[in-house]
Structure 1
């Protein structure tokens, strides 16, 4: 154990990691900051789902695009005509950080009957948890894999910093 303590105290091993500049940072900085400012203006502590998608696309991170509809009929028509099955329904709410904690994600919806049942279930969850600002989003279902969640990290190296949240699914081998 004393060897490890000495190893950790060497200055060569305690250097801060080099600053890595994202190639898309300068080009997208204003648009990204605008997304954050919009969220802050509405009192949100997290970015809404559609803003996260926009942020991921700006940094060329592939995500399954989310769509939010005001009516069930519009949702069904979109899935039937554009998105197709299987699909995923999820609750999108600024006051809910982890959708899966309340059962707010229903995956692998294979037909219209299952889509309508899933929508009713999510509406009930929204009412039960009093998520008055919630909407229901639909996304294309991506084959099962290993979920990869990338979270924000704020580094106080410069005056401005950008953090990124993205969710992807890596194929299992």
Structure 2
């Protein structure tokens, strides 16, 4: 599945749902992103989405775009009963999408970001005030970072 920067999160959510719904006992969730096609990089540059100096300045007044990168991730998840050894417990995984907006796909929605964060805590029963670490999207863009920070601030 390709959902841009959320592909690994969507894959993890689907794997967890498949296990919880009894479709399988375990799943390997793997995702990779490569930037081997120069056309994509050129288009993002032309749209002024990428940082001209190649530095991602997350939550910074000097933020001027994100930096394209390559990554790969893989994780094995399974039902507790079939685990030979547990290294961690996956409590929940969820995603959302705000779909079409007049501004375009590159404009995030503070409302939907706040909603997905709140949904995680509602669905798991975890108190947001007990959270010690938060992994953010942090694109380093003048549009994305303020939307994300506002949503986070409203929840926490």
TM over 0.5: no
* TM-score (norm. length: structure 1): 0.22
* TM-score (norm. length: structure 2): 0.23
Q: Report which of the two structures shows the higher radius of gyration computed on alpha carbons.
A: 1
Pick 1 or 2: higher relative contact order, CA cutoff 8 A, min separation 6: 2
Give the strand-richer structure, 1 or 2: 1
